[in-house]
Amino acid sequence: MQIRWFKRRWDETRGDGFDSWGAATYFFEVTKEGWPSRQIEVYDSGPTLRYGPDHLEDEYGRLGQAQLDEREDWSDWAISSDEFENMWSGDA
């Protein structure tokens, strides 16, 4: 297994004080062991959050702490490293 990248929509709100942000699209970079190493959350109302090795958490959230469930087929959500990097750098 190698480093992989995914984009997945979450159509539910956060369930916290930031519910007004709406639903979000999540971008994940996952290590070869299946752990998130970087994560981007793009909310419908505009806020974008980024978490990674240099910024694990803040008052809005944190880098995911769940290992990718290899029993689930994630191929439908796979994206290229370029797409992820464009989102990470804010160029998208």
Taking only the tens of pLDDT, the chain with its 92 residues reads 589 999 999 999 999 999 999 999 999 999 989 999 999 999 999 999 999 999 999 999 999 999 988 788 888 999 999 999 999 998 76
Q: What is the DSSP letter of 53?
A: T
Compute φ and ψ for 84, nearest 5 degrees: -65, -50
The radius of gyration computed from the CA coordinates of the chain, to the nearest angstrom, equals: 13
What pLDDT does 70 receive? 77
> How high is the pLDDT of residue 92?
61
